Amino acid sequence: MGTDSGAVSKRALELPSFIAMDVLEKAHEMERQGINIIHLEVGEPDFDTPVAVRRAAVEAMEKGDTHYTHSKGDYELRCAISEHYRVEYGADVDPERIIVTSGSSPGLFLSFVALLNPGDEVMLSNPHYACYPQFVELADGKPVYVPVREEESFQFVPEEMERYLTARTKSILINSPANPTGTLISDERMAEVARIADARGIHIVSDEIYHGLVYEGRAHSILEYTDKAIVINGFSKLYAMTGWRLGYMIVPPEFARPVQKLGQNLLICANSFVQKAGIAALTSTGEEVAEMKRIYGARRTYMIGRLEKMGFTFKSKPTGAFYLFVNASHIDPDCYRLAFDILRKARVGCTPGVDFGSGGEGYIRFTYANSLEKIKEGMDRLEAYIEAAGKAGG
């Protein structure tokens, strides 16, 4: 039987792919052919989920905690999240302002559905996390891309933001520590962005999913600077819980009931026993999380050193998350072609910067969410690839 693409919505047909996943899936095809691949393309912790988290989930299932929870989420978990933000950031967060979601991605989607009327604009940095524009557009909003520069840590320059603000600007999306760049927004810069937003009555959406994974400096929550903000966070990255699908939103009081109703209709609630595991993550994993962070830090230092020896430069060192975003235009200005060539010839998975917007062209993203042994092998393969490319070019 033939296919009828006319039956598929224009929105679904035109949705861009997530190139990092395209690289991963191509790598998996090669592995099925018996080719060994070093995976440095996808930001997924290679650690096991902490023991206390796994035990809490099992205990919850054995006790029968396998039914619907409150649509905002388990109250004990919301209280634990509130306490976490009080201790870490000095933020006073009423548990009634917290909505638990099945991962942080649904939180982003709910945020923009709650914020935007058709045609409203959301300011995004360029480059940015690959999926942000899709969340905005699926909520009938319009992404407005603001170029950012490596020497400014790929973050907004407040005085340059003004020219992109219009009467339709409804939100500014920030991400610190950032994917794909691994950089932080400084205290002073975040305060200035909050001041601009407050002056215009704009809500900031702050993606804080990589909080806790900082190796130099400190990550700041937007709630330290303004109440006119929606925070998105979760458990996937810091607690090595990607497959558990547990996240949360912190919203201003006037958004709590509307977002709750959206959640009731679209999601019902997050998994009940996984929410019990989230409580354990926040309260009983300090030593394991600290050790994971120490190991990430060592990997980061090693990978930066190896890349610099290969001729890559960093105008602003990445200090958070688990990514390095490097300018590779001296090897090939077409980063999409380069990433797949590295995969094919060096057998190393990496993500082309153009996945993260036009501002990422020429860059390659590597993740150090893999063992140091595999990172070393991946860097050896990359070094041999660059040497061969240089000889071929010469």
DSSP annotation string for 298-352: HHHHHHHHHHHHTT---SS---BTTEEEEE-TTT-S-HHHHHHHIIIII-EE-EE
Note the pLDDT of residue 142.
98
Backbone angles phi, psi at 144, to 5 degrees: -120, 120
Q: What is the dihedral of CA 155, 158, 161, 165, to 10 degrees?
A: 130
Helices 75-89 and 272-283 meet at what angle, rounded to 10? 30
Q: Can you tell me the distance from the alpha carbon of 14 to that of 5, in angstroms, rounded to the nearest whole number?
A: 12
Note the pLDDT of residue 98.
98
Question: According to CATH, what is the number of the domain 9-48+287-385?
Answer: 3.90.1150.10
Which pairing describes strands 38-39 and 348-349: parallel, antiparallel, or unpaired? parallel
CA-wise closest residue to 277 among 70, 47, 73, 45: 73
CATH class, 51-285 region: alpha beta
- Cα radius of gyration (the chain): 21
Three-state DSSP state, 221? coil
Give, in degrees to the nearest 5, the angle at Cα 258 between 254 and 262. Answer: 155
Note the pLDDT of residue 394.
44
**Amino acid letter, residue 283:** T
8 secondary structure, DSSP code: S
Note the pLDDT of residue 15.
87
- DSSP lists the bridge partners of residue 214 as 320
Only one residue has tokens 């600290």, namely 290
- DSSP lists the bridge partners of residue 173 as 205
Per-residue pLDDT of the chain (394 residues), as tens digits, is 455 667 999 888 888 889 999 999 999 999 999 999 999 999 899 999 999 999 999 999 999 999 999 999 999 999 999 999 999 999 999 999 999 999 999 999 999 999 999 999 999 999 999 999 999 999 999 999 999 999 999 999 998 998 999 999 999 999 999 999 999 999 999 999 999 999 999 999 999 999 999 999 999 999 999 999 999 999 999 999 999 999 999 999 999 999 999 999 999 999 999 999 999 999 999 999 999 999 999 999 999 999 999 999 999 889 999 999 999 999 999 999 999 999 999 999 999 999 999 999 999 999 999 999 999 999 999 999 999 987 655 4
Q: Can you tell me the distance from the alpha carbon of 172 to that of 119, in angstroms, rounded to the nearest whole number?
A: 15
Residue 229: both structure tokens together:
């903000």
Domain range list for the chain: 9-48+287-385, 51-285
Note the pLDDT of residue 108.
97
Note the pLDDT of residue 389.
83
